[in-house]
A = this chain, B = another copy of it.
Amino acid sequence: MNGAESLVRTLVAGGVEVTFTNPGTSEMHFVAALDRVDGMRCVLCLFEGVATGAADGYARMADKPAATLLHLGPGFGNALANVHNAKKANAPMINVVGDHAIYHKRFDSPLTSDLEAIAKPVSHWVRAGGSSLTVAADGRDAIVEARRYPGKIATLILPADTAWGEGSGPVVVPPQRARSRVDEAAVRDAAALLKHGPATLLLLADTALRADALASASRIAAKTGCRIMAPGANARVERGAGRVSIGRVPYPVDQALQVLAGVKHIVLVGATPPVAFFAYPGKPSTTYPADCQIHTLAEPHEDLGEALQRLAEAAGASASKPQFAAAKRPDLPSDQKLTPETIGAVVGALLPEGAIIVDESVTTGRNFFATTEGAPPHDWLQLTGGAIGEGMPLAVGAAVACPDRKVINLEADGSGMYTLQALWTQAREKLNVLTIVWANRAYRILRNELANVGAENPGRKAHDMLSLDNPALDWVSLARGMGVDGIRVTTTDDFAKAMKAGIAHNGPYLIEVVI
């Protein structure tokens, strides 16, 4: 058994069930090994950023890593933005990156690059395989590293000769350990801060945004009057009717400052202190009051749900009633113009139970959280690292992880163009993804930002650089080009009709909403 097959069998034995692939010549033995080994689903992606974004989406929903298969330094470059996003989502991921045979590197052939240096800035762990006999053990280590809580990026470089040379056979992968419990002192300290009522904010992130953890947090709030809130962008929030509805710190700095005014103590539960996404002249980098103190109940790698449960006990809130969102949907707008408000209402009115929302709406979607809080229970996934172009790939991964649920990707047109190749994978794998593209035909957020940084009255050149309307993108044609049916809508009625049809449709479908 060669190194490649030893590695693939190790991955399968370690519970890695899916590889998102974009292979090249140096990976051909790995491809051949994938071919021979049962238990690994291979999902072809036509661009590397689709593969890594899909692995992120898969990890968020499956709570375990997928593998990616990439090709040398430039291939990792293409994958890098969504590895960055996954890293900020604390998503586990195992990147297997083919490289030249070790003895071939010194000849500096065209695709030679410093793969290790390219991978390091966005990986927690990088190892270049040194021998076909040890590459299966390297794979085991990659699994162990990726699974380290709260989820790590492990990148294994696979020189071609370590794949085709004689291997060790599969090696045993230890089971994943349980998350660590927070110290009693941390619970006690946090509990002491709850006496300040609404001047104390529990800032919840990562697995503290799962339904049970949110229920504990809500009990604490009900009992003590403290506030609870989530960061602006989150890897996964369990929400909807019968669950706790949690507000998020707004993206615009002024709004964030306003929302956090009066907070004297922020208790971090898997979160980091609230900061501005970007710097702006004359505005602060942090968005909490100057006299606010930062405390930590639990870090992301710890058992956040258990920590909140203990905090509830310490606060005497175990029997308190969490504030669950009532089942309530907006009225379906009829015969109205498409605006962020009316489309938010349509989304809220029609969201199906168990949906997985992948939200890369950018400017258009800022009120969607409000219009959907009483919809049937669903998950909400966001772009965590700010590198736009992850929505469509995330939807691929979520759909692979959860084939029985509907994935609804709310996508800005500017962001969607970065990784539109994901639609082809959705068609090939017949993934149950409904993509809704908000066609405002502009980098709208940048128009706002141009004003925010103080650059007023943009001229023609600046306007052209932020506008996508010449020519207008035709998303229905783009989708058709990759085997996905779609429709363009310009009224609320047509949007509602299309959304119903898209939800009923088994497989990928795209709606272009012209706003």
Chain A residues packing against B (C-beta within 8 Å): 21, 23-26, 28-29, 31-32, 34-36, 42, 44, 46-47, 49, 72-75, 77-81, 84-85, 88, 100-101, 103-104, 107-111, 113-114, 117-118, 120-122, 160-161, 164, 233, 272, 275-279, 281, 285-286, 384-387, 389, 414, 417-418, 420-421, 424, 427-428, 443, 445-446, 449-450, 452-455, 458-462, 464-466, 468, 470-483
Contact = CB atoms under 8 A, between A and B. Distances in A.
A114 B107 contact: no
The 5 A-B residue pairs with the shortest CB-CB distance, nearest first, are A471-B483, A77-B80, A74-B387, A478-B481, A32-B455
B25 A111 contact: no
Given A80-B118, A481-B474, A482-B473, A279 B100 contact: yes
7 contacts: A23-B443, A25-B277, A25-B453, A77-B387, A104-B278, A160-B278, A480-B481
Contacts of A470: 428
A470 B424 CA distance: 9
Nearest to A163: B453
Given A471-B427, A480-B477, A461 B80 contact: no
Contacts of A85: 74
Contacts of A449: 25, 28
Contact of A272 (B49, B108, B428): B108
Contacts of A446: 23-25, 28, 31
A478 B475 CA distance: 9
Given A28-B452, A118-B121, A427-B471, 7 more contacts: A31-B465, A35-B458, A74-B81, A104-B285, A477-B478, A478-B478, A478-B481
A389 B75 CA distance: 10
A46 B461 contact: no
A34 B84 contact: no
A279 B461 contact: no
A285 to B, nearest CB: 5
Nearest to A27: B446
A472 B417 CA distance: 20
Contacts of A445: 25
Contacts of A474: 480-483
Contacts of A80: 73-74, 77-78, 80, 118
Contacts of A475: 481
Given A418-B47, A477-B480, A481-B477, A278 B100 contact: yes
A482 B117 CA distance: 35
A46 B387 contact: no
Nearest to A463: B35
B35 A459 contact: yes
Contact of A472 (B275, B473, B483): B483
B74 A77 contact: no
A277 B77 CA distance: 20
Nearest to A478: B481
A372 B161 CA distance: 39
Contacts of A46: 414, 417-418, 468
B117 A120 contact: yes
Contact of A482 (B26, B160, B424, B471): B471
A82 to B, nearest CB: 8
A464 B277 CA distance: 41
B277 A109 contact: yes
B478 A279 contact: no
Given A80-B118, A482-B473, A28 B455 contact: yes
A395 B385 CA distance: 32
A428 B34 contact: no
Nearest to A384: B110
B276 A104 contact: yes
Nearest to A233: B110
A72 B88 CA distance: 15
A277 to B, nearest CB: 5
A70 to B, nearest CB: 11
A144 to B, nearest CB: 25
A23 B74 contact: no
A387 to B, nearest CB: 3
A329 to B, nearest CB: 31
Contact of A44 (B29, B109, B454, B465): B465
B278 A109 contact: yes
A108 B385 CA distance: 11
B385 A74 contact: yes
A438 to B, nearest CB: 16
B482 A478 contact: yes
Nearest to A273: B107
Given A285-B103, A465-B23, A113 B117 contact: no
A80 B73 CA distance: 9
Contacts of A276: 104, 107, 109
